[in-house]
Amino acid sequence: MTENVWTRWPSPEALGREGISRPRRLLGWGVRLLLAAILLWGAFRNSHVHAWGAAAAAAGVLVAAGASWAFFRTTLAHRLGPSLALFALLLGVGAAAQAGSFHDPALVIWCACAVAALERLPLAVATPLTGIALGAFATANDDRWLTTVVTAVGLALAGYVLRLDAEARAGAQRLLAQERAARAAEAESAALGERARIAREIHDVLAHSLSAQLVHLEAARLLIERGADRDQVLERVVAARGMARDGLSETRQALSALRGELTPLEDFLSQLVAANDGAEVTVSGERRRLPAEASQAVRRVAQEALTNVRKHAPGARVRLSLDYRDDQVVLDVRDSGGSPGELAGAGGGYGLLGMRERAELLGGSLEAGPHEEGFAVTLKVPV
């Protein structure tokens, strides 16, 4: 059978107690205590009730209470067979109470059955069961027929309204659970992204520093193999030591960047070209503070490009240009070309590849290749 509004059970969230406010819980317990008081009062108020009758009335109250509790449990578990059996038991208790001259308890039981059926059972099952319970109520009730009809209609509407209210509460619970899950997933994604960013920063700093040191150490090795004098070898070793010191400084800068303490980009590029003979930098466009990721990408590409110039075209002049545009920032690094240096084969060759991946993660691009004079690297990052 295709599940629809008639055959669908109320959701477990609607049948459960989770999400019910404290005042509503107190109101619910108040209604239950009131019904219990009516049952007890109706069972023992008749003067003709003697010992056996009192015992039977007490047993009936206990059976009705136990059956009601079990009915709530079986409907919560969506077990139709046991729920129908317990509902029939409650109707039978009401009929026995009516036959034993316990008129008011019988009416209370039948009315409660009508409301509970509409609130907790599939409508295709609840509708005829409610009709049976209200039919028994109408037959036994000695009020005027109009009063009986109005009462029966009111009870049916009350049961359906309780059902709709419970479903609305369940929907709110599900939305709240989904929102919490979405927030947890968002927080986890942000944490993973932050860890990835930290990993990229550390990798880029170490890769640049170690690559630069490798350049000088490899030069020192070649000089030793060729029998160069001590001063030439020492010059390379001192340069490698300087690169190690610079790498430590850059690591500290990267940590500062992760804390949002970046120095201005223009100052960084000026310091970078000052440490490289034959390099110059120009800045155009309206200067402004860039997002941390975009700023770091520009810094790392500039470092990697200058390192590549020292490796592949030593002595070449280098022009760095930083252009602030409306929707992006463009870094262009061009060298004048020259003969490949003796260290052109040093390094793994993954620097520009890593920079390209970084740019693509930011929605930008990195192009690298020869131009009319030498080699050019162009980074575009949206901001």
DSSP string, 319-360: EEEEEE-SSEEEEEEEE---PPPTTTT-S-S-HHHHHHHHHH
pLDDT tens digits, 311-362: 778 878 899 999 999 889 999 999 887 666 544 444 444 467 777 887 888 8
**CB neighbours of 136 closer than 8 A, spacing ≥ 6?**
91, 94, 95, 98, 106, 110
Q: Do the domain assignments include residue 258?
A: no
354 within 8 A of 297, measured Cβ to Cβ: no
35 within 8 A of 61, measured Cβ to Cβ: no
Pairing of strands 318-324, 279-285: parallel
User: What pLDDT score was predicted for residue 379?
Assistant: 93
Q: If we measure between CA atoms, which residue out of 158, 165, 118, 121 comes closest to residue 21?
A: 165
Pairing of strands 328-335, 279-285: unpaired
pLDDT tens digits, 16-49: 766 666 676 666 666 666 656 655 565 555 545 5
Number of structural domains in the chain: 2
User: What pLDDT score was predicted for residue 86?
Assistant: 92
Q: Is the dihedral of CA 128, 133, 137, 139 positive or negative?
A: positive
The DSSP symbol for 289 reads P
Q: Do the domain assignments include residue 361?
A: yes
Instruction: Provide the greatest CA pair distance for the chain.
Output: 128
Q: Do the domain assignments include residue 92?
A: yes
Q: Do the domain assignments include residue 190?
A: no
Rounded to an integer, what distance in angstroms lies between the CA atom of residue 334 and that of residue 369?
10
How would you class 220 by CB atoms within 10 Å of its CB: exposed for 0-12, middle for 13-18, buried for 19 or more? buried
Q: Do the domain assignments include residue 271?
A: yes
User: What pLDDT score was predicted for residue 346?
Assistant: 44
pLDDT tens digits, 177-204: 888 888 888 888 877 776 776 676 667 6
Backbone angles phi and psi of 364, in degrees to 5: -105, -155
342 within 8 A of 303, measured Cβ to Cβ: no
pLDDT tens digits, 85-117: 999 998 888 888 887 777 777 888 888 888 889
Residue where a domain stops, chosen among 75, 108, 142: 142
pLDDT of residue 375 exceeding 50: yes
Rounded to an integer, what distance in angstroms lies between the CA atom of residue 368 and that of residue 360?
14
Residue where a domain stops, chosen among 116, 142, 168: 142
**260 φ/ψ sector (left φ>0, alpha ψ -120 to 50, else beta):** left
User: What pLDDT score was predicted for residue 24?
Assistant: 63
Q: Do the domain assignments include residue 328?
A: yes
Q: Do the domain assignments include residue 182?
A: no
- Which is more confidently placed, 45 or 135? 135
Residue where a domain stops, chosen among 110, 142, 174: 142
User: What pLDDT score was predicted for residue 263?
Assistant: 74
pLDDT of residue 282 exceeding 50: yes
117 within 8 A of 130, measured Cβ to Cβ: yes
pLDDT tens digits, 143-165: 788 888 888 888 888 888 888 88
Residue position matching structure tokens 């155009």: 284
The tokens of 45 are what? Answer: 């108020």
Residue position matching structure tokens 């992204």: 193
User: What pLDDT score was predicted for residue 349?
Assistant: 43
- pLDDT class of 237 with cuts at 50, 70, 90: confident
User: Domain residues for 374?
Assistant: 264-383
Residue position matching structure tokens 């997002």: 291
Q: Do the domain assignments include residue 21?
A: yes
> Which CATH number is 383's domain given?
3.30.565.10
322 within 8 A of 281, measured Cβ to Cβ: yes
The single-letter code of the amino acid at 186 is E
Q: What does pTM read for this prediction?
A: 0.48
Rounded to an integer, what distance in angstroms lies between the CA atom of residue 3 and that of residue 122?
10
The single-letter code of the amino acid at 151 is T
